[in-house]
Each structure stands twice: as C-alpha cells, then as structure tokens.
Amino acid sequence: MGSRALCRLGEIIADCCRSVDTAARHGGDEFALVLPETGPTAAALVGQRICDLLAKDTEEPQLSVSVGAAGYPSDAETIGTLLYAADRALYAMKAKKPGSHLSAHAPYSFSGDSNAEFHENRE
C-alpha cells in the first residue's frame, strides 16, 4: 500500500513538472523539487497543482501534501541552506493547521527568522 502511494505521488509530481525540473525523495515521506529558472509565483503554482491533483485523487489511502519553498539566491545560496530554508517553511506551514489541506502562497520568502507566508485552501 505504501509503495503504491509513493508511486501515485511520483506520477502527480511528474505531471506537474517540466522536463528540466528534478524531483527526488528526500527522506521517508518528503520530496524535494528543483525548479530551475522559476520565480516564486510559478513555483507556488506547481505546489498548488500538486495539492489540487492530490485532493482530486480518489485512490486509497488518501494522500495529502504540505509545501515548503525556498528560492535561490533570495532565500539561500547553497543546496544545504536551500533545503534548510524550505524545510523551515514547510514546518512553519504545518504548524499553522495540521491535518488541513494547505499550500504555499506566493510570494514566499525565507529570510532571517521570519516564516514563509501561507494560506489555507479548503475544498
């Protein structure tokens, strides 16, 4: 069941990304997307499309997604700090309302100790 869920999420991510984008599993249930030459608004749209497609998916088990984002060079300048910034944005978003369908809100910027801005999306 878990393998099929990962495959479903992988298919949805592939449907939402361009051929130049890279998706990689980053931990047990986390994925990292690299979207070259993509600004905050376009990146937020990718995250929103992934959220929307998962919300429409009727297969069991039902999947949900949380999105944290960071941009180069506005948020960080190395791979490690970009992942850290995106991870902090992700957990800040999850802390707002766990268990609900949330997505990133553009523009998102991770600078200093401030958290990324997010909005709640209920269907």
- Tens digit of each residue's pLDDT (9 = 90 or more) over 29-78: 888 899 999 988 888 889 889 988 988 889 888 888 888 888 888 888 99
Taking the C-alpha atoms of residue 75 and residue 58, their distance in angstroms, rounded to an integer, is: 36
pTM: 0.72
In order, the DSSP letters of 38-96 are --HHHHHHHHHHHHHHHHH--SSSP---------TTTT-SSHHHHHHHHHHHHHHHHHH
Domain containing residue 20: 2-120
Q: Which of 69, 65, 46 is nearest to 8 (CA)?
A: 65
Q: Any idea what DSSP says for residue 107?
A: S
- Tens digit of each residue's pLDDT (9 = 90 or more) over 83-120: 888 888 888 777 776 544 344 333 344 333 333 333 33
How many domains would you assign to the chain? Answer: 1
CATH number of 25's domain? 3.30.70.270
